[in-house]
Amino acid sequence: MRLLLDSHVVLWYDIAALRSISDSKTIQAAEEVFVSAASFWELTIKQSQLKLHLRSDLKSIGARAGFKVLAITPEHGVAAGELPLHHRDPFDRMLVAQAMLENLTLVTHDPTLLHYDVPVLLV
């Protein structure tokens, strides 16, 4: 299974909260695990607005766990813009588009993303 982690899942994984639940085994056993460049963008914005305090360097969080960075392409941008407005958060819409185009399962805590035609693993 190939996974794309939602931003909050990356943070949970980093602070070990996700490692204590059963779904973490799915992440650890996945063939490939990706973190979108959109997640780095979103988390950096939240950090600069003082809505988030990271315990470690953002760029190293995924690298320590062996996650791959998924760049944003023009195709991803177009697909995100064409999605139905089930969810209005542009970062989540980008993750949905990337998961669709790259054949990834989206790992999230947000049940709203179940409305899209993309495999979702709710944690």
CA distance 118 to 102: 10
Q: Give the pTM.
A: 0.88
Render pLDDT for 85-99 as a digit per residue (tens, 0 to 9): 998 899 999 999 999
Tokens of 39: 């997640």
Render pLDDT for 12-25 as a digit per residue (tens, 0 to 9): 876 665 455 555 67
Render pLDDT for 30-40 as a digit per residue (tens, 0 to 9): 889 999 999 98
Strand order in the sheet with 105-108: 68-70, 32-36, 2-5, 105-108, 120-122
Render pLDDT for 62-113 as a digit per residue (tens, 0 to 9): 777 789 999 999 999 999 999 999 988 999 999 999 999 999 999 999 999 9
Within 10 A of 74 (CB to CB), how many other CB atoms are there?
A: 7
Within 10 A of 6 (CB to CB), how many other CB atoms are there?
A: 27
- Token match 């992440």: residue? 27
Question: What pLDDT does residue 23 have?
Answer: 59
| 47 phi and psi angles, rounded to 5 deg | -65, -40
The one-character DSSP state at 80 is H
The full set of domains in the chain, from first to last, is 2-122 (3.40.50.1010)
